Amino acid sequence: MTDEISQHIDQLIRQEDTPDDTSLPEGLDDLEPDQIALLLESLPLDARQHAWLQVPHEVQADVLVAMRSEARESLLRLFDSEALDQLTADLDAENLIELAESLPEEVVDIALARMDQRQRHYYEQTASYEENQIGRYVDHDLLILPNNSRVRDALRLLKRQVPEYTEHLWLIDRDGRLTGVVAIATLFKSREQQMLVELCSDEFDVLEATLELKDATDRFELASVAALPVVSDDGILLGRMTQRLAMEILHETYESQLMATAGLDEEEDLFAPVMRSSRRRATWLGINLLTAFLASWAIGLFEGTLQEVVALAVLMPVVASMGGIAGSQTLTLIIRGLALGQITTANVMPLLKKELSVGGLNGVLWAVVIGIVASIWFDSAAIGLVIGMAIVINIAAAALSGVLIPVLLEKLKIDPALSGSVILTTVTDVVGFVAFLGLGTLILV
């Protein structure tokens, strides 16, 4: 599929040179909305705008929903009132929730006015939840029956519709509260007159609508079902969380963490305007510059030593690099553990001891190897001793920092993926340089 998308990108960029050609490239009409969204995001702005004209009207809303917000807004800015009118003509509550922040308020009001009462009710329910809560993104396409229904009612319902990711149907009372869950598989071996409440599972999982997306996904993963009901604080059944939604949330979470390591937003457009991208990245570069100055200041403290023992300047990058790699390994492990909820106050100390032991063992091993190489290279056992000791100290410090930094950032409600690597790099650079040059001053000068 990656090769197919790449071919479409090439076709659409070439087609931009012939603006009168608005035909669909071969195979484009077979793509799913999320694939078309990815394709559009991969195009420069002019080519993206030209390609948008070729997207079938009936899937345009789904494509926009699947796009990152910045890329989506680059297209919506081109819509005139007539195009916006067409777009909102058939929007359902779920799509409008996704698009609302990118649309003018008056357009949202028009879309709501066009909805039937049920869809408008769905929108009002879900819009009351925050962007990071599962209640905002529930799927309303589910099988529901009153709790006084019989098996024959359920079988009749199944003949009319069976939504994707459906293993159960849900029973509600007059107020819409969830009262029971019935596995569809049990219906076919039950009498038609039997009450559905008699087939209900004794226990069933539900998700509270106020759960944060990541917590809801974690709960969903443990449930091992195709969908889970989502309920309000007073038990009203709002909708469901499906496997598809769970996968989308996981994908966005990991993408967000990846982008955060470079100080970027996962919603950033690949072809965002130069000035906007520059402003965002300038902040991160400025932070990195401050940490670089700190490391340079540490080196400057030993200027006299470097002038007398030039070999130390040659070997400094080795010390910093070994500490940085060792620290990043530990940092990655801890960030993953925090994301999965594996790390608590109770197991931090055992984990710290384990990582210090690993760091100490690797430190000694590579200190011997690097010390021998440095001794032979510069024909000085003293230089080999200095760099060997500095390697041990820096790798141990890297292990310590790799555990404590993300844990402390998590306690302070700061995303460890966003700033952990910058802080760690600064620590390993400063500790490595001070240890190496300090030992060099004591032993060699």
Written as one string, the DSSP assignment of 139-152 is: B----EEETT-BHH
Indicate which CATH number applies to the domain containing 215: 3.10.580.10
133 DSSP assignment: B
pLDDT at 397: 93
pLDDT at 272: 64
Claim to verify: residue 104 and residue 163 sit in the same structural domain:
no
Residue bearing tokens 């700061």: 414
Is 254 among the domain residues? no
Is 15 among the domain residues? yes
Tokens of 434: 């001070």
Look at strands 168-172 and 144-146 and give their pairing.
parallel
pLDDT at 340: 66
Q: Residue 439: in which H helix or E strand, if any? A: helix 416-444
Tokens of 253: 């979470």
pLDDT at 40: 85
Is 261 among the domain residues? no
Domain that holds residue 307: 274-444
Claim to verify: residue 301 and residue 406 sit in the same structural domain:
yes
Claim to verify: residue 91 and residue 164 sit in the same structural domain:
no
Which amino acid is present at 368? V
Asked which of 205, 229, 244 is the last residue of a domain, the reply is 244
Tell me the C-alpha distance between 95 and 137, whole Å: 10
Is 36 among the domain residues? yes
pLDDT at 179: 92
| Each residue's pLDDT expressed in tens, for the chain with a length of 445 residues | 556 666 667 666 666 555 555 455 555 667 788 888 888 888 888 888 888 888 888 888 888 888 888 888 888 888 888 888 888 887 888 888 888 888 888 888 888 888 888 889 898 989 899 988 999 999 998 899 999 999 999 999 998 888 888 999 999 999 999 999 999 999 989 999 999 999 988 788 899 999 999 889 989 988 888 999 999 999 999 999 999 888 888 877 777 666 665 555 656 666 666 666 666 666 666 776 787 788 778 888 887 777 767 888 888 889 988 988 888 889 888 888 887 677 888 788 988 999 999 988 998 999 999 999 999 998 889 999 999 999 999 999 999 999 999 999 888 887 787 678 888 888 999 999 999 999 988 888 7
Asked which of 72, 107, 132 is the last residue of a domain, the reply is 132
Contacts of 275 (CB under 8 A, 6+ apart): none
Tell me the C-alpha distance between 350 and 255, whole Å: 30
pLDDT at 273: 66
Claim to verify: residue 123 and residue 154 sit in the same structural domain:
no
Give bridge partners of residue 208 from the DSSP assignment: 231
Tell me the C-alpha distance between 263 and 402, whole Å: 19
pLDDT at 182: 92
Q: Give how many domains the chain has, as a whole number.
A: 3
Asked which of 108, 132, 156 is the last residue of a domain, the reply is 132
Asked if residue 240 lies in contact with residue 230, where contact means CB atoms within 8 angstroms, the answer is yes
pLDDT at 114: 87
Tell me the C-alpha distance between 120 and 137, whole Å: 15
Claim to verify: residue 213 and residue 301 sit in the same structural domain:
no
Indicate which CATH number applies to the domain containing 83: 1.25.60
Indicate which CATH number applies to the domain containing 296: 1.10.357.20
Tell me the C-alpha distance between 306 and 294, whole Å: 18
Is 349 among the domain residues? yes
CA dihedral 187, 190, 196, 200 (to 10 degrees): -80
